[in-house]
Amino acid sequence: MLLIPSTTLPASAPVVEGLAGWRVVADPASLDELSGTLPVPPPSAGRGVVLRFAPDDALVLGENEVVVTDPHAIVEPDTGWVSIQMTEEHALDLIATHALWPAPPERPVLVQGMLAGLSVKVYLDGNQSMIITAAPFGLELEERLGT
């Protein structure tokens, strides 16, 4: 399993790459615990990152195994996402030209919304920024941002 998003240097033409991790749906308290045990981004070698999509929903990257205290949690390997790696500057430029919402000032930060008409999650953190979307939208995102 690919643990960490590619370290491919940011390119001017966006290229989507597969993203693999663990999807965890659990009670919010156990996800809070999980977030507490894993470092806040940026991910580094062998360290995971929890991208919290919702209080009870997260995508965990960079971990071989995920354990949560919620006995009824759904923990599934998930390869249904793709990402475009880029610099924060590039991501902010894409937000300005393809989104109807402003980028928040906090760093690192995960924001979710529409970009170029597609549902995305944008992770802003310096040179490790990335745009994430569901795999079925991957090529569409690449085409729309590449024009």
Partner 1 sequence: MSFTFDGRDISFAPGDSIAVALLRAGIHPTGGGCICLGGDCPHCLVRVDGVAYVRSCQTTAAAGMVVESQAGDPPLPESTVQAPVEVRTVFADLVIVGQGEAGRRAAADVSGEVLSFDAGRGEEVIGIYAGPMVIVRTPAGMVHARCQRVIVATGAAEEQPICPGSDLAGIFTQRAAEKLSSAGIDLGRTVQLTQHPQRFVGEGHVTGVILEDGSRLECDSVIVDLGLHPRDALARMGEGLEIETVGEAAMPGELPPPPLTGTVCPCSKVEVSDLDSVWDRGFQEMELVKRATLAGTGTCQGGVCLPHLRSYLAARQSQAPSAFTARPVTRQLTMSEAAAGFDLAPFRRTSLHQEHLRLGAIMDRFGGWWRPWRYPDVDAEYRAVRTAASLGDVGTLGKMLVAGPGAVELLERLYPCRVEDLKPGGVRYALLLDERGYVIDDGLICRLSDTRFFLTFTSGGASFAEMWVRDWAETFGLDVRILDRTMSLGAINVTGPRAKELMNRLGVSDLPGYLAHTQADVAGIPCRIIRLSFTGEVSFELHHPVDRSVELWRALEAAGSDIDLYPHGLDALFTLRLEKGHFIVGMDSEYDSTPRRLGLEWAARLDKADFVGKQALLRTNLIPLNKRLVGWEMDGPAPVEGSILIHGDAPVGQVTSSRFSPVLGKTVMLGWVRLEDDRFPEEVQVDGRVARHAAHPFYDPSGERARG
Q: Which residues in this chain contact partner 1 in the complex, by CB under 8 A?
A: 18, 20, 23, 25-26, 56-57, 70, 72-74, 76-81, 96-102, 116-118, 134-140, 144, 147
Q: Using CA of residue 78, residue 84, residue 90, residue 96, what is the dihedral sign?
A: negative
Nearest approach in angstroms of CB 87 to partner 1 is 18
Cβ closer to partner 1: 110 or 145? 145
Q: How far is C-alpha 124 from the geometric centre of its chain's CA atoms?
A: 9
Cβ closer to partner 1: 77 or 126? 77
Nearest approach in angstroms of CB 47 to partner 1 is 23
Q: Give 15: exposed, middle or buried? Use CB within 10 Å, 0-12, 13-18, 19+.
A: middle
Cβ closer to partner 1: 44 or 146? 146
Residue 5 contacts residue 15 (beta carbons within 8 Å): no
Cβ closer to partner 1: 42 or 52? 52
